[in-house]
Every structure is written in C-alpha cells, then in structure tokens.
Structure 1
Amino acid sequence: MQRIIVLDTETTGLSPENGDRVIELGCVELVGRKLTGNNLHLYFNPERDSHEDALRIHGLTTEFLSDKPKFAQKAQDILAYLQGAQLVIHNAPFDMGFLDKELSLLGLPPLKTYVSDVTDSLAMAKDLFPGKRNSLDALCDRLGVDNSGRTLHGALLDAELLADVYIYMTRGQHALLGDDGLGGGFGAGDDARNRIDLRQFALPILQATPHELTAHAEALEAIDKASNGKTIWRNLGVG
C-alpha cells in the first residue's frame, strides 16, 4: 500500500541560492489514508542566523539550534525514511528547492529521485477553491480543521494540519472508489449469503434540505474540478 508522507520545512529565509538553510523538517506518514504515528521530526544547526522576518514566523533562535545536528549528519536517515513515498507538500516548489539545495551541497541527486511522486497541495487547493485564499490557515478554517494551537509556524505541527487538510480535500474521490480509509468499498461483503432483503422493512424517505442540496452540489463540483472534468456524470451528461 502506498505510503504518503506529508512534509513541511522551516528555513532561515526565502532563498536557498543565497545561502538560506533548512532548520526544521516535519514529516507525517499516512498509509491507507490513516495516520500511522511513524513521523519524522528534526531540527538542524544551519550555521547561520535566521532573517528577522523568518524568525518572527518560526521563532527558532540561533541559540536553540546551536546544539542541533547539521543537515549532513541526518541526510541518509531522511532519505531512507522518504524512500519510495508519495510526498504531499503545501507550496511544494519552496520546500523542494531548499531540500534539493541541501542535497546538492552533499553531492546527492534531487529529492524527486528518491520518492515516487510529489503532490503540491496548494495547487490542488487552488483547483478546488479558485479565487479564494488557500493558505494552510485558510484551508483549516474552511474545512473545519482545528489549528487553534498554531501560534508560530512549526514543521511538524504544520505537517499534521496539512495531513488533515489533504484527507478532507481528497475524501470525495476516495469515497467514490471505496477507499476512504474506513475499509469496505464497492464489492465488499458482496456474498449473496450476507445480503438482506430490504423489502421486509418500511424504510422512511428523507428529503434533502436546501442546505444539504447546496452542499452536495458544491462537493460534486469540487470532485469534478479535482478530476479535470473527467467525472462519470459529466461524461454521461448528467449532474
């Protein structure tokens, strides 16, 4: 079963090409769309100060990082952990750019050569919610993910929040495929001996409320956008 690693970094600034470095890495593992607890969280000594603006965001001081390992000391452990996984990263080019720079300083190939795929959850969110704010905080608010503990940015906390956001954003398409992390799916328990004749029951008919109909239409639209217009109902000319 495919491992998904939701990944986030904190850095000393915005430009790896100008010498900024990775100072924190947070990774959360999902298997079968469930959190496994097999996470990775590391701080690094960048051997330089963080820019003032970056320090205000993550709060990781030079003093705090001074006794932490250098990235080079943990690089092989990181690559072994990420090997073959699908990565989910919010604004992936930013984090990938920093990690690729760290690897290049060690004479190692880019990160994409070690993993199966990289999904940019920011690009996904822009497709699902065009014209809206799609920062991690905005998505948490929109999807009902509790981010009340996020006073400062932290790589592990942000990866944990993003894992919840990613599960919410992809829930519809996986539920349709019977792969919502809850087991079962189409064909599950399809043995005729386990079937129940529902004709023996007087089943009530519950009409959807206007709010439910609107929510249903929005969910269908989001799934359709996520599939680039390849949903079955569009091809059949319904919905």
Structure 2
Amino acid sequence: MREIVFDTETTGLSFPGGDRLVEIGCIELVNRVPTGRHLHRYVNPERDMPAEAERVHGLSARFLSDKPLFADVVEDIIEFLGDCPLVAHNAGFDFAFLNGELTRCGRPVIHHGRMVDTLAIARVKHPGAKHTLDALCSRYGIDLSARTLHGALLDAQLLAQVYVELTGGRQITLGLAVDAPVMRETPAELPNRVHVRPARQFLASAAELERHAAFVSGLEDPLWAAA
C-alpha cells in the first residue's frame, strides 16, 4: 500500500486569515517502508513573513522572494500525492493550507477521507503523554540531532519513522504469529489443555533401501573401508 507522509510550513496559523503555505515536504511509503522517493518545494507566499513564524522555520521573505508560486508547482504536488492516504501530524492544519492553496489555483481539494492524523493516533496510543513530534521521536528513540528548526522535508522524514512506530513498529508486516486465545484456567488446570502431537515416523521403503545399497556398492575406495 502506498502512503505519503507530508508536512508544511506557513506564514501563520490561518489560511482564511491571509496566511499562506511556504514549504511542503513529502515522503513516499510503500507497505510502511520509505521508498527513497520524496518531493520538496519552497513557495513564494506573495506576502511578508511574520517574525514569530520565521523564528519557527527560519524562512525569511527575502529567501522566499525568488521561489516559485504555488500555482507553478501545483502539478508536481498533485502528481506526487496521487490518490493514496496522506499522513500528517495535526493533519487538519496541513490539509487546511494545502486545500486552501489548491482552491486558490482552481484545483479540486483533497478529500478528508484520505487524511491520516498521527496526532490523533498518538493520543489514543499514549493517553496523557506529550504528543508533539519531538516528544514522539524521543519516545521511539528517533534521532533529532539534525532538527534545529522546523523544516517540512526533515519533519516529514521524522514523522514517517514515528508513523511506522505508531502503527506497529518496523516489523509491522512480518506476521510470524497469530493472536492466541486468552487462557482463563488456573496453572493447575492448564496441563489439561495441552495436546501433544505424536512423533512422526520417517522410514525408508524397501525400494529406497535397495537403491541406497546399490549406490554405496559402486563407490570407489570409500573412507569407511580404510578404517
């Protein structure tokens, strides 16, 4: 199964309020394994960059001023995303900006039925714990040393590892065992449930023994004859 893990960086928190997407990073997974394919684009937001947003991701208005507009990269993004599930952390936020930009370009929005929210998964799996990307990386022993600022591609790479852990770990598809029924008996009663399979007999037939004797008789200078 193909899935895309993605992250965005923006000028702020509200697309309807005038904020815009400035960076998108996407990682392709097939059967929960990264394929090495990714997409990364910076986008000129055609507006200023608030200081509080720049402190988060380090992207200045000057840096973004010569980057393409979203309309210039929308085809690349649509093609890479395809029609598979899209995984994001606090996915409603990223979907709002992505769909806002798509609408602005006159393109169909992405249906929320494709949305997989790792924040919602983490809240169910680890109730009462911290659910930030940093906290989940620390919980699962994922290296954060390269993350000094938020960045869409790096965050998508980290989130891909977190997503695999949240959904079963690195051996999710190994499938070597099946769930056993819960034992309700006391230890004294358990031996009554043990069913021992009789040992199998693997005996050579008369024809096989005859062929073996004929083969051995044709050997030249066998080691056992010299002993």
Band of TM-score, shorter chain:
0.7 to 0.9
Q: Within the alignment, does 1:75 sit opposite 2:74 as a pair? A: yes
More off after superposition, 28-37 vs 128-137:
28-37
Q: Give CA deviations for 1:133-181 in whole Å, capped at 9, x if unaligned.
A: 0000000001100011110000000000000111111125963xxx14x
Higher helix share: 1
Mapped to 1, the partners of 2:170 and 2:123 lie a distance apart of 17
Q: Within the alignment, does 1:54 sit opposite 2:61 as a pair? A: no
Q: How does 1:108-147 map to 2 (within 5 A)?
A: 108-112=107-111, 117-147=114-144
Structure 2: gaps spanning 5 or more residues = 185-227
Mapped to 2, the partners of 1:56 and 1:186 lie a distance apart of 47
In structure 2, the partner of 1:99 is 98
Q: Give CA deviations for 1:197-220 in whole Å, capped at 9, x if unaligned.
A: xxxxxxxxxxxxxxxxxxxxxxxx
Mapped to 1, the partners of 2:121 and 2:146 lie a distance apart of 25
- CA displacement at 1:110 relative to structure 2: 1.3
In structure 2, the partner of 1:193 is none
In structure 1, the partner of 2:12 is 13
- CA displacement at 1:237 relative to structure 2: 5.0
- CA displacement at 1:186 relative to structure 2: 4.8
Amino acid at match of 1:35: P
Mapped to 1, the partners of 2:41 and 2:85 lie a distance apart of 20
Q: Give CA deviations for 1:183-234 in whole Å, capped at 9, x if unaligned.
A: xx459xxxxxxxxxxxxxxxxxxxxxxxxxxxxxxxxxxxxxxxxxxx966x
Q: Give CA deviations for 1:66-90 in whole Å, capped at 9, x if unaligned.
A: 1100001111211111111211100
TM-score, normalised by the number of residues in structure 2: 0.76
Amino acid at match of 1:7: F
In structure 1, the partner of 2:22 is 23
Mapped to 2, the partners of 1:238 and 1:94 lie a distance apart of 45
Q: Within the alignment, does 1:153 sit opposite 2:150 as a pair? A: yes
Mapped to 1, the partners of 2:170 and 2:161 lie a distance apart of 15
Amino acid at match of 2:129: K
- Aligned pair in 2 of structure 1 residues 101, 47: CA closer, same or farther (>3 Å)? same
SS of the residue aligned with 1:41? strand
Amino acid at match of 2:166: M
In structure 2, the partner of 1:32 is 31
Q: Once the two structures are aligned, what percentage of the paired residues are identical?
A: 51
SS of the residue aligned with 2:49? coil
Of 161, 174, 192 in structure 2, the residue corresponding to residue 164 of structure 1 is 161
Q: How does 1:180-191 map to 2 (within 5 A)?
A: 180=174, 185-186=175-176
Contact conserved, 2:7 with 2:88, CA < 8 A, in 1? yes
Runs of 4+ in 1 over 3 A off after TM superposition: 172-175, 236-239
Which structure: larger Rg?
2
In structure 1, the partner of 2:223 is none
- Aligned pair in 2 of structure 1 residues 238, 34: CA closer, same or farther (>3 Å)? same
SS of the residue aligned with 1:93? helix
TM-score, normalised by the number of residues in structure 1: 0.72
Amino acid at match of 1:143: Y
